[in-house]
Structure 1
Amino acid sequence: MPVTGADVRRIALALPGVVERASYGTPGWRVSDKLFARLHEQDGVLVRLGAIDEPELREVLTDAWRARAPKRLVAELAEPDG
């Protein structure tokens, strides 16, 4: 089943230290004030929501988050209760 913007929001906000803040007038998600994901309607986007399933979306968002998150938050995600 294709994912939606609501799925992106839910998955992104479940990651440690994430806040939602508009970016260029569209929903965006940041960690330590660094943008790691946003939604927009333009062609040529990196992830087309209609062509990805939820496990794959979770992996893509988590990888983008890891690239921006401080080490302490990455360690928090790796904890069994994190």
Structure 2
Amino acid sequence: MTPDEVGRYAESLPGVKRKGTEARPAWYVDDRLVVRLHDQDTLVIRVPMSERESLLETYPDSFGVPPRMEAHHKLEAYLAHAEPGAVRRAIDLAWAMQHR
């Protein structure tokens, strides 16, 4: 999945708007973060803690949680290895969690 594909998918969800910068775009719903491009190969996605472990176990090559994110409702998606369906699922979970 490419950063452009991530953006198109995120913006297809109701109420999602792009913010951030050209180099680090981010997509929000109701001013709450859904997904952000950390660098050209890594996304930061907000997901419910209750779903995070399942995503990590099911898609170990797609996602990870660096130590700085362990206490937060976030995970990283590694675009070079991530399954597109897994990334879309994580974005959907983030959207559902952040949508008011």
TM-score where L is the length of structure 2: 0.60
Corresponding letter in the other structure for 1:14: S
Whether 1:56 and 2:54 are equivalent positions in the alignment is no
Task: Looking at secondary structure, tell me which structure has more strand per residue.
Answer: 2
Could you tell me the percent identity over the aligned residues? 30
2:19 paired residue number: 21
Instruction: State the Cα distance separating 1:48 from its structure 2 match.
Output: 0.5
Whose radius of gyration is greater, 1 or 2? Answer: 1
2:96 paired residue number: 66
2:77 paired residue number: 47
Q: Deviations over 1:1-57 (max 9, x none)?
A: xx110111011001000000006x610000001111100128757110111122111
2:5 paired residue number: 7
**Alignment RMSD:** 2.1
Quick one: distance in 2 between partners of 1:39 and 1:65? Answer: 16
Q: Which runs of 4+ in 1 moved over 3 A?
A: 42-45
Name which of 28, 31, 38 aligns with 1:30. 28
The unaligned stretches of length 5 or more in structure 2 are 43-65, 67-74
